[in-house]
Structure 1
Amino acid sequence: MGRAVTAARKPDIVCIGAQKAGTSWLHEVLGARPDVWVPPFKELHFFDHRFVPECRRWTPWHVRRGLKAARARHLEQVIPPCPAYLAYIDRLEQGPPLNAIWYEYVFSRAEAQQNCLDVTPEYCCIPAAGVAFFARFLPQTQIVYIIRDPLDRLKSQVRMIAQRRKDAKLTEADWAQILEMPALRSRGDYLNNVPRWDAHFGPERLLYLPFGLIRSDPGDALRQVEAHCALPAQTPVAAGQKVHATAPLDLPEAVLGALTALARPQQRFLEDRFGAGFLQQIA
């Protein structure tokens, strides 16, 4: 914590999604390694803030909240506090946030031998111009895209949204409003998202990791990520631990029917793109 800021950096590894597909697991497992450096908070939102207008309504708030929490953790855990770290947080808070200078400064506290990591699930949704910019801006970065069964992912996302509502019981109108949310479609829209990334990155740069492998064999999932990112093989104790699992919630039959209809074309696309074997591993 006591080291000074060195130089601006860019991430060596970026996990681009999908939301509710194990990205927090990957962030925690890789972040526990001494050779991987993670930012003060998960989900930097640099690329989606730049290329998805609707995200700009809330990404500055997300940054402020993340930095506030990082400062509070430091003051609680580090006694006496590190002036260099607090100055680093100050600069990130004072901004302007979410531009290229800010993004590169985020990684400036990493040691030269560490791999910098950015895990932001919304990146998978950026438009074609955003993916082209990503390719130019990060010409050597390794990318991980975790693919979860479309229906399971949708149900988890809907449960998360519903549980964030303050009302104890959602009405039919509430459920209808949730089903119309653009994010419900975009964040698991493999049919449109995957071809945009395929257009710029082959398997040497972009790893499609089946979500089910994280559940059934987290060690194997981690080994695939390590091999893809040229990281030495390790077996962290927490590899099999669930991170930020969504609490159970019964969904109305009408909601389940609507989600099943949304998932069907996504499931067909995934089978066509990746094959039946991969499809068996994503649930």
Structure 2
Amino acid sequence: MSGQTFIFCLGATKAGTSWLFDYLSGHRECHLPAMKELHYFDALEHGTGDFYRKQAQARLEAARKDKPTAWQKRLISDLERWLAVFDGKTRNDAAYLRYVQDGGAKARVVGDFTPAYGLLKEKTLKTMAALTDKVRFVYLMRDPVDRIWSNIRMMAGGDGATLDAKVDGVLNGTAENILDRSNYRRTLNRLTRAIPREALHIEFYERLFTPAAIERLCAFLGIAPQPASFDRVVHESVKADLPMGQRAQLQAALKPQYNFVEKFMGELPPEWTQKMVSA
């Protein structure tokens, strides 16, 4: 294990984690399970293991029906092993670590991409940080309004009525799960209390798909940059325009998040500010 980096990617939902997972999965110095989102630590903290096991089982059954490509065979194997390793409720960090590392003995980077880890409590984050002698965290942020709108479109599909209902839920506070994913203030406060600042790499979704961002990430992980398919779209949400009135309402509701990110990072990226609607 000496010298090998263990990475946790906690990026917010719809903030580029799937694209980054694909990039690092194909990197010659990295090894990641074919199964993205293991939900190990959040299942233990929130008691949601049964739910995620059912998801994994359904994905396994679907994978068995697909064309047996080399990647599909690996996914099936990883899903089968994960269901055997983790029953959804019993903590066994050693078994979890062996699962993630399996097949990656020569890799410089191994890890777990589970965006939901961004909702974890400080105590759990400290446990994760102590998993090996070299743990690193990557957190991806996207313009809060754009992230929520993409999340809503993913959930609602092309149903206009559902889109409006989800936006209303965010505005009246009932869509807690969607709001939680844009609570950058809470996540970053917990992360910076739980881990050394040098163990955390933050990137904006709006800048992720650039050579400069990849160079920053690879330098952080101690690996050499390699070419990336920046135009490749992963898990694209249904297209729909956000009405300016709703954008202004969401922007106002999420003002504390914009204010925090500006203070924490020193400024807001122009990619965020240029979309803002004047009050």
TM-score (norm 1): 0.79
Give the residue type in structure 2 aligned to 1:265: P
CA distance in 1, matches of 2:57, 2:5: 21
The alignment's C-alpha RMSD in Å is 3.2
User: Where do residues 219-230 of structure 1 align in structure 2 (5 Å cutoff)?
Assistant: 219-230=211-222
Cα distance between partner residues in 1 of 2:183 and 2:241: 24
Of the candidates 93, 113, 116, which is equivalent to residue 106 of structure 2?
113
Aligned to 2:270: 280
Equivalent residue letter for 1:51: E
The aligned amino acid for 1:127 is K
Aligned-partner SS, 2:206: helix
The 8 Å contact of residues 35 and 79 in structure 2, kept in 1 or not, is answered as no
**Secondary structure of residue in 2 paired with 1:58:** helix
Find the partner of 2:82 among 75, 84, 92. Answer: 92
Q: Compared with structure 1, are the counterparts of its residues 70 and 168 closer, same or farther at alpha carbon in structure 2 (3 Å cutoff)?
A: same
**Displacement, 1:14?**
1.5
Count of residues in Structure 1 that have an aligned counterpart in Structure 2: 265
For 1:128-147, what aligned pairs fall within 5 Å after superposition?
128-147=122-141
- Give yes or no for the alignment of 1:36 onto 2:27: no
Aligned residue type for 1:241? R
Q: 2:253 aligns with which of 227, 240, 262?
A: 262
Do 2:7 and 2:112's aligned partners in 1 also have CA atoms closer than 8 Å?
Answer: yes
What whole-Å deviation, never above 9, does each CA across 1:126-156 have from its counterpart, x for those lacking one? 1122222222334421111011111111111
Structure 1 CA distance for aligned equivalents of residues 184 and 51 of structure 2: 24
Aligned counterpart for 1:12 among listed residues 3, 6, 9: 6
SS at match of 1:239: coil
Q: Retained in 2: the 8 A contact 1:18–1:187?
A: yes
- Report what 1:149 is aligned to: 143
5+ residue gaps in structure 2?
274-279
Return the match for 1:192 from 186, 194, 200.
Answer: 186
User: In 2, Cα distance between the equivalents of 1:57 and 1:282?
Assistant: 38
CA contact 1:219–1:240 (8 Å) conserved in 2: no
Take 2:261 and 2:166, find their aligned partners in 1: how far apart are those partners? 30
Pairwise CA distance, 1:250: 3.7
Shift of 1:35: 2.0
Select between 221-230 and 134-143 the one with higher mean Cα deviation.
134-143
C-alpha distance in 1, partners of 2:45/2:226? Answer: 36
Partner of residue 3, structure 1: none
Shift of 1:24: 0.9
Distance 1:282 1:251 in 2: 15
Residue 45 of structure 1: which of 36, 39, 46 is its match? 39
Counterpart of 2:82, as a letter, is: L
Q: Give a deviation string over 1:155-186, Cα, whole Å, max 9, x none.
A: 1111112118xx67438656545662221111
Indicate the percent of aligned positions where both proteins have the same amino acid.
25
CA contact (8 A) 1:41 1:70 kept: no
Contact 1:25 1:242 in 2 (8 A): yes
AA aligned to 2:262 is E
Unaligned residue ranges in structure 1 (runs of 5+): 1-6
> Retained in 2: the 8 A contact 1:71–1:86?
yes
CA distance in 1: counterparts of 2:75 and 2:165, whole angstroms: 47
For 1:11 and 1:63, locate their aligned partners in 2 and report how far apart those are by CA, in whole Å.
Answer: 26
What residue number does 2:57 align with?
A: 64
Shift of 1:254: 6.7
